[in-house]
Structure 1
Amino acid sequence: MQDPFDYSRRTVLVTGAAQGFGRAICLAFAARGAQVIACDIQQAQVEETAALCGEGTLAFTVDISSPEAVNALFCTLASHRLQVDTLVNNAGGVVGQSGQPLETVTFTQWQAIVDVNLNGVFLMSQAAVAGMKARQFGRIINISSRAGLDVSLTGIQAYASAKAGQIGLTRQLAHELGPWNITVNNVAPGFIRSNPSTEKQWEAMGSAGQQRLVDNIALRRLGVAEDIAHAVLYFASDWANWVTGQVLSVDGGR
């Protein structure tokens, strides 16, 4: 019986691959034989991810919120005869922002978060899906957040809205793309200390706030980036062949 977690015949593109969840996801697929394409706007860090994954992993610097940049990326991949069959839309975050009252939020601030957390998922999926349809196979896994199902710990309105929108897009695309054997699923992580932004949020909570956060988790501990990578591996695997349009909360239990 073939190992359902053998990805030696897969080409996996991961956005937001410079650190945190994205790096862990790249490492997990590379360790299981996949051709990994690591993408991020941070050049030095994404190249470091590729180096950690080992020979054969490719790194591209790309702004996924730009239609032109996404188109250029897929043209480059096509020129190298690389056909993406597994897309992990992980790029996101609060782009350096912190919570503030609604009346003080500028449209530029709102748009910056929506661009990377929602528009980027749309653009990357749109670019990848033609090849998946042609091969009658594809896996799209989007990384949202607990904020998309509840409220954001940061208090950032655009972040909660964009992640909720991403979950809606996941469900819609699952129905649209199902006839081509393309599954679309979503992983909704809880709070995990995985990058400089989450470290900043953790520190801002103070010891009392940190303890409250942990006390509200059923397992009474924070997760790690590898927990998210493992959920992604499942959705990409043959064990999830009849699973689509789903949201898997990986948050230690609420």
Structure 2
Amino acid sequence: MTARIALVTGVVGGIGAAIAARLARDGAKVIVSDLAGAALDSAADRLGLSAVAADLGDPASVHQMVQQITTDHGAPDILVNAAGGVCNQVGTPLEQVDADAWHRIFAVNVDASLYLSQALVPAMKTTGWGRIVTISSGAGLRPSLTGIHAYTAAKHALVGLTKQLSLELGQHGITVNSIAPGFILSNPATQRQWDAYGPEGQAQLINRIHTRKLGTAEDIAAAAAFLTGAEAGWISGQILSVDGGIT
């Protein structure tokens, strides 16, 4: 890993930060990204890592970020896109789904992975080695507990994009996989969702998990470390559920 340069996005959230910290601890040179602002600056300071801000839903912003990283640090050969989430939305009945809200969720959860891959893959092809890991969700495999139509649809789309990229890029030495986390208290949105369940709902959720406990951001980081490492070179197009087992 000491020869690798990794870009980890979505580091304002707990999962992205944990992945960045783990890859850095394993020896990779890690650059982090999120939307510009104090939250990104604070996360980068806590992690002790270089940060480059970008709007990942804007292809021009993504390409500008990648050009800056390549100039300052070298071309990343590892991408972990942990940016995503529900964009502060809540579940609504079908009749109340707003078109702009729908597209905002798709932009951060799906479009971002496409634009990042487009920007980074040419350099990976040149060297014949690359690792791309997307962070999907259990909501990409089944209906979402959030009740947000766009979130469920976007995570399913991200699973499909992951598999399509794997088919296209595997011959170039680039593996593409996705991690589907279970319910993890990793940011204010998941904390609000957890609190909204109340004691009874929380107990029901825990009882659906085979291990009878919630996971941590570090559990997701461990999976990302494996999928981006040398030993995962013949694993591609896979969706790894890291959820303690779900019934």
Aligned to 1:253: 245
Aligned to 2:72: 80
- Secondary structure of the residue that 2:52 maps to in structure 1? strand
How far is the alpha carbon of 1:8 from its aligned partner? 1.2
In the TM superposition, 1:37-186 aligns within 5 A as 37-54=31-48, 57-186=49-178
- Secondary structure of the residue that 1:80 maps to in structure 2? helix
- Matched length: 246
**Contact residue 65 and residue 120 of structure 1 kept, 8 A:** yes
- Alignment pair present for 1:18 and 2:18: no
Deviations 1:106-130 (A, max 9, x none): 1001000011000111111111101
**Contact residue 19 and residue 45 of structure 1 kept, 8 A:** no
What percent identity do the matched residue pairs reach? 46
Please list every run of at least 4 consecutive aligned residues from structure 1 whose deviation after the TM superposition is greater than 3 angstroms.
none
How far is the alpha carbon of 1:50 from its aligned partner? 2.2
Whole-angstrom distance in 2 between the partners of 1:125 and 1:178: 13
Q: Which shifted more, 112-121 or 72-81?
A: 72-81
Whole-angstrom distance in 1 between the partners of 2:173 and 2:13: 31
Whole-angstrom distance in 2 between the partners of 1:47 and 1:134: 32
Deviations 1:30-79 (A, max 9, x none): 1122111100015322222322333xx21112110011111111121232
Q: Normalising to structure 2: TM-score of the pair?
A: 0.97
How far is the alpha carbon of 1:9 from its aligned partner? 1.1
Deviations 1:142-161 (A, max 9, x none): 00000000111000011011
In the alignment, which of 14, 26, 36 is matched to residue 30 of structure 2?
A: 36
- Alignment pair present for 1:224 and 2:213: no
AA in 1 matched with 2:44: A
**Contact residue 140 and residue 154 of structure 2 kept, 8 A:** yes
Compared with structure 1, are the counterparts of its residues 205 and 42 closer, same or farther at alpha carbon in structure 2 (3 Å cutoff)?
farther
In the alignment, which of 6, 9, 19 is matched to residue 3 of structure 2?
A: 9
Unmatched runs of 5 consecutive residues or more in structure 2: none
Aligned to 2:231: 239
- Secondary structure of the residue that 1:65 maps to in structure 2? coil
**Contact residue 16 and residue 91 of structure 1 kept, 8 A:** yes
How far is the alpha carbon of 1:173 from its aligned partner? 0.6
- Secondary structure of the residue that 2:11 maps to in structure 1? coil
- Alignment pair present for 1:197 and 2:196: no
Whole-angstrom distance in 2 between the partners of 1:118 and 1:145: 12
Whole-angstrom distance in 2 between the partners of 1:210 and 1:31: 33
Q: Normalising to structure 1: TM-score of the pair?
A: 0.94
Whole-angstrom distance in 1 between the partners of 2:82 and 2:178: 10
**Contact residue 27 and residue 52 of structure 1 kept, 8 A:** no
RMSD (CA atoms): 1.0
In the alignment, which of 201, 206, 218 is matched to residue 198 of structure 2?
A: 206
How far is the alpha carbon of 1:82 from its aligned partner? 1.5
